[in-house]
Structure formats: structure tokens, C-alpha cells
Amino acid sequence: MRAGRNQLIRRTSGPALASRRRLTPVRAVASVLLAGALALTATACTGDGGKGGGPSFQGGSGGEETPKATAAITAPAADAKDVPASTEITFNSKDAVETTVEVKNAAGAAVKGKVGATGTWLPDKTLEYGTTYTATVTATGDDGKPATVTSNFTTMAKPSKQIRVTSFLGDGQTVGVGMPLIVKFDRAIPQDYRDDVQRRMTVQATPAQVGIWRWVSPTEVRYRPKTYWKANTKIFYKIQAGGLPMGGGWYGRSDLTVDLKTGPAVVMTVDNRTKKMTVKKDGKVIKTIPISLGKKSTPSSSGTMVVIEKLKKTVFDTSDDPNPANRYVTDIEYAQRLTWGGEFIHAAPWSVASQGRTNVSHGCVNMSTANASWLFNQTRVGDPIQVKGTERKLENGNGWTDWNMGWDDYVKGSAIPLEDTSPEPTTAPSAEPTATTTG
């Protein structure tokens, strides 16, 4: 049986810059971090030379007393005003075996932040508006003598035009292994700014897994790993949008963090040829269920979907369907939504005789009440289901169809090429790089 389209998911969940510009003269911090590898602390080694127009320390002219290393701050410019509160410090050093960055506010209090692998330092949270900060970069060579450079800058006044960032998921949730991370903006992000925004969107998965963000619209971006999340994965994602320029004089309103996990790997497969659903948990078949799919006039969609919502009791009301033959109002138990168009898994006691034999539904996956109740207690929002062999293909966008396309196609929706978001692994507890993306 197909529910009507009206049965939609009930979700719970500074002066402007004169023209388009990048946040810094150097591209922002590399977007994929490694779990357990290259811990990003306020220390980094660089060897880019003393390029750039910021303050630099070249050492003195006194023989052995002259430090071997040199350092320079390239952005923000010395004594810069109206700097976005999302700014990062970019720097370079030469002949250094260690480079450290320290940032303090006007009161002398240290600001927490991290150094990236590309000569950038990013604060852990948005800087205060209308505040002067001092950045100090110290490069130490193999002679043990430090070369230090210091620069001041002042952040812009709080902007009046701010964009709110929200997450569909919240702290403490446990979701299925096919659950995409969904982030929305309450105003469209121009194409030319999406890479800057994406670089501030970081996902950390334990155990580590490769993944990437994909823009599904100017106001929505989603993240999925290359394959389904591993069972019982811990996921933390952070959107450092506070004070970030987002085009047209608009700035991010605030940062956002979410901490959640996946449950066991429950994966459902429906085969139209056999009229059966196979349910696997952590790779092992735990049940095979007779089902009935959509009849020829109202076929079920073939493709990979995920459970969008779960309703123990609901009412399917299709009284607005243009075809009188498809109009009905029916009480339904153990409903699990798969598409926005109204395809569900649900109990259908009226079609038990057809289940495992022939298709009689309006597009839904019908099963007995006992089987539907059992399955309802096994699954979570985000658990994947693949339907195979029906007359109609699933349309991308009709539900959370992030898994209904190959990895290569999914990557094309990123504002940053995948190779730019995956630094070389060093030492990691897992063989795979972590799913972490400001890109």
C-alpha cells in the first residue's frame, strides 16, 4: 500500500565585504583529518620559505647567535581591521623542525585552536566580534634557537545579516548504518562560497572511514561514507560557520556540533523475483520474510533507500489521489517510510495470502503483522533497504537516496575534489582514513 504524498515525515530535529574574496590568501585548512593520525595541535612543521606579505623574522646578523629558522605570518595582514570572526592564521617557516602558533585576545588570554598541515591555524570556535587579537608564530630550527614573529588584527563588528545552520540529527542519537548526515542553511549558499563552507564542515568517525559531503541543493548538504557506516561507529561532526562569509554580505550565525553513533548493521534486501525480504544483522541472515510489492499499475521502486521515519500506528490517507481507484483511508501498523512519494514497509494482514507469491500493494512492502512487528523492533531510522527487480527505478531525491548512486557520482556533488580532502595517512589505529571533512 502506498501512503499519500501528504503523509510527509514529521521531523524532530561587521561590515560586509565589498567583493568576493577568499578567507585568506592561502586556501583553508585541508578538509579531511586522519583518525588517530597527525594530531592537529598548536604545533606544525613547515618548509614553505618566508613567502607572503605579513610580518616575518629573518634572524639577526650575528653569526652563531642568529637562529637558523625563519617565520612569517601571511594573514591576516598586520594591524588588519574588520577581519571576519571565522578567520584563520596562515603562516610559513623555513629551516624549522618545529613551528608553534599562539593567539591571545586583548586581555592576554590564550585562544584554543589547531594547526593544520598546510600552514594554517584555526580557532576551535568563533572569535569574539570587535576584538583585537595577537598572533605569535615561533619557528625553531635544528640549532634549537627560536625565531618569533608577532602580528595584531581586529575582528569586525557583529554582522546584521546572519545565516542559521541546523542539523537533522541531534546529540545522543543512535542511527542506522545507512544514515546520511544532513545539514541545512536557512539561506542559499552561492556556488562560489560552498568550498569555503565545506572546508569548515568536519566529520570524525571511530573507527575511521572514508567519506565526503555532497551538496543536494543550495541550502542542503549531506555526508555519507564510501560504504555503509561500520556497526557501532562513533560519529562527531562540527560545522564552524560562526562569522564565516557566505556571500552577499551574509555570515554564518554560529558553530554547530553533533555527537552520535550507529547501531548494529541491519541491512534489508527485497527481491521481487522471490517475493522475499532477507534481513541481515552484522553480516548474518537473521530472518527471511515473505512480502508482497506493488502491483503492475502501482509498482514499487527498485533501488537503495533508507528508513526515514518509523510509525507504530498511523493512517494512510490517499483521498487526494487523482485516480479514484487509488483512494483510501486505512489504519496502518508498524510503518517505516522509505520514500517521500509514499512507499513504506508496513503490516498488511489483508494480503497475507499473497505474500511470498504475488504483488498486490500500491507500492509498499507488505508483510504480516507478526513479521512487521518483529522488523520494526530490529530497525532504526537510517537502516538501508535495497529493492530489486521491479518495473520502476527509484528516482534520486525521492527520499534519502544517497546510496542510490555510485561513489564516483556521489563525489561529484562535493564543492571540493576528493583528492584535496584526503591527506596521506601517517600512523592510524585503522587502515582507513577517518571521515573528517571541512571539505
Name the residues annotated as catalytic: 346, 364
Distance between CA 415 and CA 28 in Å, rounded? 13
- C-alpha to C-alpha distance for 182 and 224, rounded to whole angstroms: 9
Q: Rg for the chain (alpha carbons), in Å?
A: 27
Terminal-to-terminal C-alpha distance of the chain: 41
Phi, psi of 410, deg, nearest 5: -65, -45
Question: CA 328, CA 337: separation in Å to the nearest integer?
Answer: 18
Residue of 36, 3, 11 whose CA lies nearest to 433: 36
Q: Which three cell numbers stand for residue 39?
A: 594530531
What are the residues whose beta carbons fall under 8 Å from the beta carbon of 419, sequence distance 6 or more? none
CA 17 to CA 83: how far, in whole Å?
A: 10
3-state secondary structure of 195: helix
Closest CA to 381 of 210, 216, 169, 220: 169
Strand partners, 329: 317
What type of residue sits at position 287? Answer: K
Strands (DSSP E) found in 226-321? 234-239, 251-252, 256-262, 266-271, 276-281, 284-290, 301-306, 309-317
d(CA 275, CA 283): 21
Which residue has cell 518483529?
Answer: 374
**Nine-digit cell string for 63:** 653569526
- How far apart are alpha carbons 243 and 15 in whole angstroms? 11
> Which pairing describes strands 234-239 and 174-175: parallel, antiparallel, or unpaired?
unpaired
Answer whether 405's CB lies under 8 Å from 185's CB: no
Amino acid found at 147? A
- Calpha distance 435→205 (Å, rounded): 5
Per the listing, cell 495470502 goes with 353
